[in-house]
Every structure is written in structure tokens, then in C-alpha cells.
């Protein structure tokens, strides 16, 4: 395992490679509890065991090949990515099949997509005729075939075909273009995944999955082979994973979780925290930490203090500070350590070069967040 992120050198001491106690790790530091991570991966894998649909975990959350490898070892069909930067990192790490659940547009990106298609099975989501044509041309120049699925908007109101007619026209074109290989459809029910009421969440997800499957049925009626029908996120894995006709589920956050998903997915554990040091206790009810929004996101919701720590609550984040308000007098003193659970895992992993993998208070491995910052 390299102890530097790809292309970069650490200005301070490199992270530990030998096991060492947490208190020897400088802060702020991104931690992943290894037993909790493995239990989450195992729990999700067990759900998919023996089912028609398979799990293709979204790696935009952790951006870390070492975690993707654990997900593959637990039976995943491949990995989902949002960007080519992530896909390249995963393919080069040996992940055999990567779905880019996003549009890859423009001459620079489509040329790169075609080149990366040499590294393993790479599948990309398309939702316009123009994009299908430019990928076909880039693939032709590179002398490869590019795997394509068509994205359908199943109610989120983001990218994707908005009608069966649009899907049919696009699939027909993809099928005819010489350097594209039509593989199927995807439709992410992002409007459903965070709905707090479980029944309502499942209802919205079923509706979205049914719409996606209806597009797949119409394509089959038109003579197309629809191999992949990909849906779902962590909030809807147990609906999408059971929906007849859905073949793959793109859940990502479940592996490490966050404070937002923790409220609706009690079956998974929060494995990710940011370790911080108390740098100030300016008043009896106030503590200030050495991490701010440059090391933990304020996306979705403010971070939560792990284990409650005597009723401490995050009230403010600035760039390099977190302010905690204390409900009781049991406050951590200056120099003590506190673990925060991020409100959103995906936008927190992206702020760190490495993950400290922790078992029973000991950092046992350090993993580069190899695709961190990879937004291209
Ligand atoms: C296209 C797509 N698929 C799947 C997911 C699922 O991710 P999560 O497991 O975090 O809900 C997302 C999340 O944003 C997404 O954008």
C-alpha cells in the first residue's frame, strides 16, 4: 500500500503503515471502523445472496480501491462510479467491471472514456442522441467498443430520458452505431432514498422501479436485448433489490454510512468518523475542535458527536473550527480527542488523502483515498 496519494507527496510525516494507537494519529483524521465496515458490507451482501438482482456498490462515497476490493470479495457484480477519474482508479486497481452512472460529454472526456475501455469492462450512461454519436466516434478512433446503458429519469428530475419514446429512439441509435454496445438501462430514484417514512420511501421506490422496468419491457418488445436494469441507493436497496426486472442496485453509502442515513437505516452502522482535538474551551458550555468544513462536510446536516459525549452538540462549523455546545458539565478538556460523524459521508471522504482503518482503538491500516478530488 502506498502511503502517498497518487501524484502527491505529504508535507508532514507520512501516515502510519504499522499498527499504532489512535492517540498517535494527528488530527483531523478520517477514521473507518474496520469491523463496522465489514459488518455493513457483509449485511448488504447477505441481502443480495441468492437474489435475482446483484449489488454494484457506488464508490463515489469512499473513492477507495481497498474498500471496493472488500465489496467485490463479498460478491459485488462490479463497482459504480460517478466520474471517469474514479473509474480509472478502480479499473487500474483491478476492479473488473465499472459502471459510470453519469453522462460523459465532450471530446476530451469521450476520448478518455474510449481509452479507459481498454482497462476492463467499462459501462457508461447516456441520455442524448448527440452524446451517443460522439462516444461512438471516439470509440471508433480508439478502435474499441464502448458499453452503453441509457439513463431514465424515474422521478428525481435530474438527467435521463423523460419518456418511453425517447428511450426507444436512443436505444435504437445505440444499437445501430458500430462502436457502441447497448447493455441496458439505469434509473436512480434519488427523490426517494432519504424519505424518512419507510412505507412512503418504499412506495416511491416501487413506482420509480416500475417505470424503469416498463421502459426495459418496451425495448424488449422492440427486439432489443436489455441485460442490465440498474436502480437504487442505500435508502431503497431493499425495494430495488426485490423489484422484478431490476438486475443491479447502485447503493454506496451503506458501507460507511453517515449521520443522515443513520436516521433511516438502523440496520447499518456508522463506520466513518473524523477524529478531532479540542483546541479551546472558552466557556463552561463550549468546546472548539481543530476540524472544520475543510475536513468534515456541512452538507445535509451538521456533524454529530459520536457516542453523545455527555450531550455535546455541534452548533457551528467554520473552515478549521467546530464549535460544540455542551448540555452537561462533562466536557472534554483542551487536548482531548472527539470523534464526529459526518452528515454526509461522500463529501467528507473527498476531503481526505487517507483513511485510517481502526480496529479496537488501533489504526491497523492506512488506505489512500485514491480517487479523492477526482471530479473529472
Ligand atoms: C446515480 C446514483 N446512483 C446511486 C446513488 C446511491 O448512493 P447512496 O448509496 O449514497 O444513496 C447515488 C447517490 O447520489 C447516485 O447519484
**CA 290 → CA 192, 261, 335, distances in Å?**
35, 25, 10
Does pTM surpass 0.85?
Answer: yes
Q: How many helices (H) and strands (E) does the chain have?
A: 10, 18
Ligand 1 atom nearest 186 alpha carbon:
1
- Residue 15, pLDDT score: 53
- Residue 329, pLDDT score: 61
- Residue 17, pLDDT score: 66
- Residue 332, pLDDT score: 85
For each successive 10 residues of the chain (376 residues), what is the average pLDDT?
42 62 95 98 98 98 98 98 98 97 98 98 98 98 98 98 98 98 98 97 98 98 98 98 98 98 96 98 94 96 82 93 84 91 97 97 96 96
Q: What are phi and psi of 90, to 5 degrees?
A: -70, -45
**CA 359 → CA 33, 229, 346, 349, distances in Å?**
6, 37, 22, 19
DSSP 145: -
- Whole-angstrom distance, CA of residue 76 vs CA of residue 232: 14
Cis peptide bond N-terminal to 28, omega within 30? yes
Mutate to test the pocket of ligand 1, among 250, 259, 343 (most ligand atoms within 8 A of CB): 250
> Which protein residues are within 6 Å of ligand 1, measured from CB?
58, 61, 101, 188, 190, 193, 233-235, 250-254
User: How far does residue 11's CA lie from ligand 1's centre (Å)?
Assistant: 34
Amino acid at each position: 500500500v502506498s502511503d502517498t496519494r497518487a501524484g502527491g507527496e505529504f508535507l508532514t510525516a507520512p501516515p502510519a503503515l504499522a499498527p499504532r494507537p489512535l492517540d498517535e494519529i494527528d488530527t483531523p483524521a478520517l477514521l473507518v471502523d474496520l469491523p463496522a465496515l465489514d459488518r455493513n458490507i457483509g449485511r448488504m451482501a447477505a441481502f443480495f445472496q441468492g437474489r435475482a438482482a446483484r449489488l454494484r456498490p457506488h464508490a463515489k462515497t469512499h473513492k477507495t480501491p481497498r474498500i471496493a476490493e472488500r465489496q467485490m470479495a463479498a460478491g459485488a457484480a462490479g463497482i459504480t462510479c460517478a466520474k471517469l477519474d474514479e473509474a480509472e482508479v478502480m479499473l487500474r486497481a483491478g476492479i473488473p467491471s465499472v459502471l459510470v452512472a453519469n453522462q460523459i460529454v465532450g471530446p476530451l472526456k469521450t476520448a478518455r472514456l474510449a481509452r479507459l475501455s481498454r482497462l476492463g469492462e467499462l459501462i457508461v450512461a447516456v441520455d442524448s442522441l448527440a452524446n451517443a454519436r460522439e462516444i461512438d466516434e471516439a470509440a471508433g478512433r480508439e478502435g474499441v467498443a464502448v458499453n452503453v446503458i441509457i439513463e431514465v429519469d424515474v422521478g428525481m428530475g435530474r438527467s435521463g430520458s423523460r419518456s418511453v419514446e425517447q428511450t426507444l429512439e436512443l436505444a435504437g441509435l445505440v444499437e445501430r452505431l458500430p462502436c457502441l454496445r447497448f447493455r441496458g438501462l439505469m434509473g436512480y430514484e434519488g427523490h426517494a432514498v432519504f424519505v424518512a417514512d419507510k412505507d412512503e420511501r418504499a412506495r416511491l421506490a416501487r413506482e420509480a422501479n416500475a417505470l424503469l422496468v416498463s421502459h426495459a419491457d418496451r425495448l424488449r418488445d422492440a427486439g432489443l436485448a436489455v441485460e442490465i436494469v440498474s436502480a437504487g441507493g442505500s435508502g431503497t436497496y431493499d425495494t430495488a433489490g426485490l423489484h422484478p426486472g431490476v438486475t443491479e442496485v447502485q447503493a454506496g453509502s451503506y458501507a460507511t454510512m453517515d449521520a443522515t442515513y443513520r436516521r433511516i437505516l438502523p440496520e447499518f452502522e456508522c463506520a466513518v468518523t473524523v477524529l478531532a482535538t479540542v483546541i479551546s474551551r472558552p466557556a463552561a458550555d463550549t468546546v472548539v475542535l481543530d476540524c472544520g468544513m475543510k475536513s468534515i462536510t456541512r452538507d445535509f446536516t451538521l456533524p454529530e458527536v459520536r457516542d453523545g459525549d455527555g450531550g455535546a452538540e455541534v452548533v457551528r462549523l467554520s473552515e478549521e473550527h467546530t464549535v460544540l455546545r455542551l448540555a452537561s458539565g462533562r466536557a472534554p478538556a483542551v487536548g482531548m480527542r472527539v470523534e464526529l460523524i459526518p452528515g454526509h459521508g461522500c463529501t467528507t471522504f473527498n476531503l481526505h488523502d487517507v483513511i485510517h482503518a481502526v480496529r479496537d482503538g488501533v489504526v491497523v491500516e492506512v488506505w489512500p483515498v485514491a480517487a479523492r478530488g477526482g471530479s473529472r
